[in-house]
Amino acid sequence: MSEGGAHAGFAHGRRLRSTPAMRRWTAQTRLAPADLVLPVFVKQDLVDPVPIRSMPGVVQHSLDSLRKAAHEAAEAGISGLMLFGIPAEKDAVGSQADAADGIVNVALQQLRADLGDELVLMADLCLCEYTDHGHCGVLTPARGGARGQGGGLVVDNDPTLDRYASVAVAQAQAGAHVVAPSGMMDGQIAAIRAGLDSAGFTETPILAYAAKYASGFYGPFREAAEGAPQFGDRSTYQMDPPNADEALREVAQDLAEGADAVMVKPALPYLDIVARVADAVDVPVSAYQVSGEYAMVEAAAANGWVDRQRAILETLTAIRRAGAGSVLTYGAVEAARWLR
């Protein structure tokens, strides 16, 4: 028997787990307030914020309550906000998305005036919240005899790109630090980059929702953003959940077209995708802990099935551990306060 005992030659993991300070010293993944981004919903003509039933603790903001929430976010030390807007009126082409008095553009102007560069103001760039049909682009009759999803209608990729470019310019003019296209149209990054550059916004970065899956975890968001498709679904333009290699192709294409950073959405069901993307690129990688992920933890905690704070921080740490440099989560401010 060796001097140290029968097992002296083996590493004892528990030696490095013996105290909280020891575990902090050996932690391989750090989670800090600056790693978090808060998605927010702002609705036109609201006087008071409206709670979202399926997302406890999350609201549709009025402009005033959004400004208060933004100050609280800055005080908590998170990095930024991702803005989603709900207009009072919708139409077939989402006109309010790039209107100067559109709800997100007004909110951006106010937040930029209030906070300057204290938070990174990110604007989700899509049309689904603004169209009366709830799809992410302009509709057109199906060609070649193909059946459309709603009365022979399909999303027309190329005219949608023109709309995206216009929305990007409007958001940049309103004060967005970052535009974040989420519609998953082919060629959207190139069109947006060209639109921004031609309007003089050459320094405005693009965070591409590069690998956005047609997920079953978006249900609560559709209540929050009032943007559920009125017919069919988005499976023809969002990614198919079984596919992983395709995510790397989508990311590579977006980077080739001029994206400055990329995102994987959802996060927890796609940690393998987060890891593969993080390994493959040398730009910032974000992951979006979407509404269904958030709602599951909240529901389990409300029933006493999980320790809420522990579960939330564990999920966020897992997303960081997979390789995401930043995490979009509806609990960003609360988590940041715990971390501080």
Token pair in block for residue 200: 């003089």
What are the two backbone dihedrals, phi and then psi, of residue 121, each rounded to the nearest 5 degrees? -90, 110
What's the rounded Cα separation, in Å, for the pair 305 and 311?
A: 10
Are residues 216 and 292 in contact, defined by beta-carbon separation less than 8 angstroms?
A: yes
Nearest C-alpha neighbor of 114 from the set 56, 53, 69: 69
**Considering only CA atoms, which of 203, 318, 212, 194 is closest in space to residue 265?**
212
Dihedral, CA of residue 59, residue 65, residue 67 and residue 72, to nearest 10? -70
Tell me, yes or no, if 43 is annotated catalytic.
no
CA distance 250 to 184: 9
In sign, the C-alpha dihedral spanning 284, 290, 293, 295 is positive
**43, 68, 90, 265: the active-site residue:** 265
CB contact at 8 A, 70 and 110: no
Whether cis (ω within 30° of 0) applies to the bond prior to 205 is: no
Task: Provide the pairing of β-strand 153-155 with 139-141.
Answer: antiparallel
**What is the CA 147 to chain-centroid distance, rounded?**
32
Length of the chain, in residues: 340
Query: How far is the C-alpha of 269 from the C-alpha of 300, rounded, in Å?
Result: 17
- d(CA 302, CA 307) in angstroms, rounded, equals 9
Task: Report how far residue 295's alpha carbon sits from residue 317's, in angstroms, rounded to the nearest whole number.
Answer: 18
* Cβ atoms < 10 Å from Cβ of 101: 10
Catalytic residue, from 43, 68, 90, 212: name it.
212
Residue 71 and residue 38: Cα distance in Å, rounded?
12
Judge whether 265 counts as a catalytic residue. yes
Question: Residue 205: which of 162, 272, 262 has the closest Cα?
Answer: 262
Instruction: Indicate which residues carry an active-site annotation.
Output: 212, 265
